[in-house]
Structure formats: C-alpha cells, structure tokens
Chains A and B, each alone.
Chain A
Amino acid sequence: MDSRAGLATLWRWLLAGSILIGVVWWPEVSEAQRRQDRPNAEAAEAAIAQLRSPYCPGLMLEVCPSASAAALRDSIYNLAAEGQTTDDLVEWMLARHGEEWRGVPQRSGIGLLAWVMPPLGLLIGVGVLVGWIRASRARADEVVEEPEEPISETDRDKLAAALREWEATGGEEA
C-alpha cells in the first residue's frame, strides 16, 4: 500500500469514527434523576432490587405495576427513611411474605449453589475443550496427509487471475 492510499484509508476511518461519535453521543444520566427524593433511598432501592413481587407472578418487586406492589415499595422506602439497612429491609419483607420472594439467591448455604455452578460448569467446559484440542493437535501431527486431487485447468486460470489482481492491489484485498 503506498502512502497516499494509506492516508486515504486513514481519512475514511477517521470520518467513519467521527460519524460514530456523533451517532452514539450519549451523555451520562444524573444520578439524582434516577433516585426517588427520599432519605436513605439507596438502601430501599437495593432491597427492592433483590425481591420478587408477591403480586405479579414472576416479576421483580421493582417493576411490578400492581397497586399493592407500589404500596409495598412505599413501605420499604418509609422503613429505609427510618434508618434500616438493605439487609434489614429484605428480611422485613421476607418475614412478612415468605422466603420464596427472595429474588437473588444468598451467597451462602444452598443459595451459594446457584452462583457456583454456572462458572464451575464453564471452567470444566474450558478444561475439557482445551484438553480435547491438545489431544486432537497431537493426533494431527501423527497423520500423514494424502496428496489432494490435482487442480483443474479452469481453477488454475481463475487462481492465476485472482493472484494477479491480489498482487496488483498490494496483497491487502481480494
């Protein structure tokens, strides 16, 4: 590739990059906007994010649109305003409604099983795959390749034409 062609390519990429910057311009959301205007709201939000809603099958409490769920969220915000921690708020809700509404498994006891198994499975999979590829590579080194079918005249002509073109474009394209 000569220097002019290289500069042209670089220019094209800079232009594309500039367009991308314009397209994906994405200012940060102010945290204040995301939070409810209540004291200790972070603790309440963290607790609500860990709980499933008893009023919407399968939905988390934070997104359940039912009026009863809204009332429960309000209660949690009010308790948070009184100074309760996230763990206290979660336990308060579970004590009233039952352990089955915990939406995020605990990282201890039987709940730990939920967190450990997926990464463990992936790790085992990686180990098996790496071992299998290594063994396969070792077998490949032992195999003596048979000579392939000779190339046809048509293919030879097309290959020659393509190679000429490839060389003409500096070997970068085609």
Chain B
Amino acid sequence: MAAHLLALRFRLLVGSLRQSPWAIVALVVTVLGAISLLGSTLAGAVAVRALLPELGPAAAVVGGAVLVLALTAVTVLIGTSDPLAAERFSLLPLRVRALRRGLLVASVLDPWVVVGVLGTTIGMVVWSTSGLALATAVAVLPIAVATAVLVPRAIADLLARQLASKGARDAMAIVLVVAVLGLTVGVQLLASGVRAITDVARVLETAAGVLAWTPIGAAFDLPRAIAAGAWPEAAAKLAIALATVGLAWWGWGRLLGERLTHPIVLRGGGRVREGRLLDRLLPATPAGAIAARSIRYRRRDVRHLMNVIAALLVPAVVGGMQLVGIVDVDVDGTRLPLDGLALLPVLMAFVAAAIVQIDLAYDSSAFAWHLLTGVRGADDRAGRLLGIAVVYVPTLLLTAVLATWASGRWDLLPASVGCGLGTFLLLAGVMLWLGVLLPGEAPAPGSNPLGRGSSGGIQSLAGIALSLPMLGTVGAPCIGLAIAAIWIPWLGWLSLAVGLAVAALSAWFGIRVGGAALDRRGPEVLAHVSKAA
C-alpha cells in the first residue's frame, strides 16, 4: 500500500512536469528555496556552535519551534499534497491506518517534508558540545522529526475542514487576525527588551524557556534536560513531546477517516444575502456586471476571502504595533527612523496587484461564459479592475492612514496615499495585460481553499518579477517624490498628483492593451485556466 502510494505520487509528479514547463520551473524554484533555507540553517547552527556554544540549547529550542511553525504556515498556505487528497480514495475499500501510513511514506516526495526532516537533523550540530547531549539528540531525533512533519500536516488538514463550513470561515478570519495581532504584540514586547547583543541572548533564553514547555518546542529541549541530569523535567518534556506526536498522528488519522466518508466540499451555504444595492450602484453594463460579480465573490468564495483577509493583516499589524507603541523603541540610545513606515502602502499595493494578475484563474472553466457571451476583452479587464479596486483601495487607504499614524508624521499622509495608490494601479494596469499572457493558477472552485496553487503558482512570481522594471521606471517619479517628502513634506502632494496620473494612465493601458490581448487569446486563456479543474 505504502509503496503503491509512493509510486503513484512519483508518477503524478512526473506527469505534472511533463504537462507544463511551468511545473518544472516551479519545482526548480522550490528546490532552490529549500536548499538556501537549509544552507542558512546549517550556517547558523555551525556559527552558534563555533562562536556561542553556550547559546546552543536555547537556539535549538527556538529554531526547532520556528521550524515547526514555519512549516505549518507553508503547509497551510501552499497546501498539503493535493494529488493524494483523501477524498480521491473514498470509493476504494481502504482502512484509514493503511492510508495514513501510505500517505506518510509518499510525503517524502514533498519538498517541505524533506526540509522538515533535514532541518531537524541539522539542529543536532549545536549538541556536539557534550557527548551525552549529542547521544540524546540522536535518540530523540525521530520524535523531533515526527513533530516537524506531523504537526503541520494535522493542523493544515484541520484548517481545511474548518474553512469548508461557512459559519466557521468568518470565525476563522477573526481568529487569524487576532492571532497575528497577538503575535505582533508578543514580538514587540520581546523586542522592547533588546538593547544590546547580550540582551539578544537573554531574550533567546527567555523565549526558549517558554517554548520548551510547549508542544512545538519540548522535543528540541530534551538533549539539554537529559545532559543536565534534570530527570523530572526531562520526563515531563518527553511526555509533552510524545503526546504531541501521538495527538497529531491520531488527529490526522481522524481527519483522514472523516474525509473518506465526508469529503471536504465547499458549499455556498444555502440562501445567500442578495445585495440588490450592489446592482443599483454599479452600471447595468458588461463591465458593471463583472465588477458586481467580482465583489460578491470576495465575500462568498472562500478562496477570494482568504486573499482579502491576508491583505487586511497588513493594516492590522501596523495598527497593533502602534497600539503597543513601537514608535518609542530605541536601540543603543538612537531612535529608529520610523518616518519611512509611512510608505508601507507600497508593499501592500504589491499584494493587491498580484491578485489582479491571477484573478481570471480563480474563475477556472467558468470563464467560458465570458467567451460564449462575446464580452469584449476591455469590458472583462475593466470590470475585474473595478471589482478588485472597490475591495482593495479602501484597505490601501486604511493602511496609509494607520502607517502614517505609526510614523508620527501626519504631513506624510499625501505621500503615503500617493505612492500606495500609484503603485497599486500602475502594477494593476500592467497585471491586467500580463494576466492574459500568464494567467497563473488558483485552487479549483469548491476545492480545498488551501490547496495547490493558492499562492498563484510560478507564473504569479514571474508576473511580479516582470512588472518590477515598470515600477523602477514609470513608477519612479511617484515613489521618489514620496521618499523625498520625508525631508520636504510638500513634495508629498506632488507625489499624490503624479501617482494619480500614472494610475489613470496605467489603468487605461491595462484595459485597452490587456483587453485587446484577451480578445485575441481568449480560447488559449480558457484552456490554461480550466486545466487545473
């Protein structure tokens, strides 16, 4: 069974590579990313071992916990291996135990699982200070590896299930925002204690002391506890670590079993609230209809809702930082230059513009209806831009206000709004055109919203890279003026004016040129975006 699933996973991998050259590029980028991540982990571990060996235990715990958290985030964001989704086995006479074992074995072909295994192994370097600690580290390595592999898996599967029900989605969104806010405040409180390098060590040890008692850190503290002869503590932490692995293994099995008989299907949730207001506000034209549909989808389609939530996190983080008072942080007596914080909307504009590029991919084969009805490409582009702008421009403005507040320089508000809006619409205009040539990929409608392609795929990265030269040339005056406004505040108004002019020009370009490209390439775009389904 396990061998069979491993072979299946391998053939699916080869098949996807044969199907599209983009899949090869994606694999290469993933592998390079993993190698650089592991390389820097190794370098860090060796550096700690060689230069600050007394920090080793704390570094191991914090590093291990961060690894588990990061892998969880990655698994949640880019999805558990979708080709082997449990639902696909639901018609076969399979026991959960056999399936779970098989999926675990097959996951060795998952690059992030490899990162988890190798990253945990690299962490052993720091224990080479003591024979007993090293021996213990080797002995408990399986527990650590199991934590790094199983915890992300179980949490991602649990979230996928939760997000499928409509009521839970809203709750999840709030929990997510609150969690990120809490994390920001926590990091901020830790950072406020930092005054010098020696403080870093103190902070690290405090963090390690706390994390070592949590499920994500206990397994990584065992070598120190045993080497120190703290037997009761070691026993307690071993129990925590084993319970974590056991719970994750059991929970994963439960979730798999549930999915075999009760597949995760995103339901619309019966009667939806019909926003007649939206139809009245937007013109009854093709572009107006597409904009209205786009806005409704931000709310009703969990795949789009996830993107909106992700964008809302930026102002949430900035607002949270401001509430705790990061502005007063100073390192070694010098006040951090926070004026630049006012230009944060530029980053946010990137996120929003990236969504413009892959917006069509979310339609999947439903895009066929745009072709059948003979909608002009320009109407398609204009409607999508309007729909996305209605949702993301207010978020951008909110970010500008909060970021300006955090910077303490209200005179920078025009610059903040100008560079944010200018960047967003400049990139959005380019993306309206690039999105026709490189539509990217999205999770299929009704599938796991955290499934494959939820980050837009490799074409999305290519789109961002290709749009950077535009930002450096056409966008330069607007952004340059905004930066200059830090010293000469009235230039901010100029930045706003230039930003709005560039935005209008770029939107016009995207609608015209992108629309013409869509008129030409419509059937090819349809073939690309419906392939995933």
Specify whether A and B are partners: no
